[in-house]
């Protein structure tokens, strides 16, 4: 199979049965959208949900990538009424509890967007603390996922204190 890597802020579509799409997700989300009847599908990888007022067409936002991917699928012969989706990612990967969980917001956006568009979600693996590695076959909608556990960082040992500098011989006023 020919492999296509979908990086952060990007999407890809294909109707070639020899193509598989790959990505790695942490708090980001990937929506795998496909039309099994037409044999065409696509994957995106968004960093932030965004909305129509604030995204300004920036590719890192889910709202922009979803529209681009849907349009590309329709150009490749998909029918909106045949769309099915699978949703992945949205892990809580920050180390401290002081940061907002962007993964939850990304997942919520994906679910809300697909619901508003009337696109059924046929499967999902979201949340948790592990990163995900995905392989998606766009013509069939088949997805393989591997969870990548977050590595525990070794404890940080503070450096020994530096010896105090000698007092200067000059006094300044």
The single-letter DSSP state of residue 40 is E
**Cβ atoms of 20 and 4 closer than 8 Å:** yes
Q: Calculate the alpha carbon distances from 96 to 93, 99, 122, 127, 167 in Å.
A: 9, 7, 33, 16, 41
**Cβ atoms of 9 and 60 closer than 8 Å:** yes
d(CA 35, CA 82): 5
Is 32 a catalytic site residue?
Answer: no
Alpha-helical runs (H) found in 41-101:
62-75
The catalytically annotated residue of 4, 12, 28, 43 is 28
Residues known to be catalytic: 28
């Amino acid at each position: 199979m020919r492999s296509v890597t979908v990086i952060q802020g990007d999407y890809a579509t294909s109707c070639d049965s020899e193509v598989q799409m790959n990505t790695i997700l942490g708090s980001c989300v990937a929506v795998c959208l496909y039309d099994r009847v037409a044999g065409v599908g696509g994957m995106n990888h968004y960093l932030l949900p965004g909305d129509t007022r604030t995204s300004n067409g920036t590719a890192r936002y889910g709202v922009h990538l979803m529209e681009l991917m849907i349009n590309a699928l329709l150009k490749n012969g998909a029918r909106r009424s045949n769309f099915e989706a699978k949703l992945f990612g949205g892990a809580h990967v920050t180390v401290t509890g002081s940061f907002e969980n962007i993964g939850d917001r990304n997942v919520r956006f994906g679910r809300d967007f697909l619901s508003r568009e009337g696109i059924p979600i046929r499967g999902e693996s979201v949340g948790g603390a592990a990163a995900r590695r995905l392989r998606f076959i766009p013509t069939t909608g088949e997805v393989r996922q591997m969870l990548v556990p977050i590595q525990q960082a070794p404890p940080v040992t503070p450096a020994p204190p530096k010896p105090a500098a000698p007092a200067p011989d000059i006094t300044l006023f």
